[in-house]
Amino acid sequence: MASFGSKLKECRSEKGFSQTELAKQIDTYHSIIGKYERDEVKPTIDVVKRLANVLETTVGYLLGETEERELLKDPTMLRRLNDIAKFPENDKNCILYTIDAMINNVKLKGLNV
């Protein structure tokens, strides 16, 4: 699994930011960005949040919790999932069963095109 520093460097490079440009975006020094990228220093969670925001990715991706950069970045989807999580278990299972069926239907349509 890639380290925080390598993921940070990858995201920064893909956005076309220099270390100095990224540092300005989050109000720090370019030398700190370099230390993060070399995994010499670990940022605070607040800094990781700012980095994820500027780099248009998620905290989870930068921290290695997921390999998906865009996973759950959509606030509307997050709100829906949070609502579902609060429902009684039986209701949750029914909703997820229905969602799974709809997802499978869309996938099958894509294969038959």
Q: How many helices (H) and strands (E) does the chain have?
A: 7, 0
Q: What is the pLDDT of residue 36?
A: 97
For 4-62, which CATH class? mainly alpha
Averaged pLDDT score across all residues of the chain: 89
Write down the domain spans for the chain: 4-62, 75-111
Q: Which two tokens stand for residue 90?
A: 């039986």
Q: What is the pLDDT of residue 68?
A: 65
Mean pLDDT of 46-71: 85
64-73: pLDDT as tens digits = 887 766 656 6
- Per-residue pLDDT band at 74 (split at 50, 70, 90): low
- Per-residue pLDDT band at 21 (split at 50, 70, 90): very high
Cβ partners under 8 Å of residue 54, min gap 6: 15, 22, 25, 26
More confident of the two residues 75 and 55: 55
CA distance 28 to 82: 33
Radius of gyration of the chain (CA): 19
Q: What is the pLDDT of residue 82?
A: 84
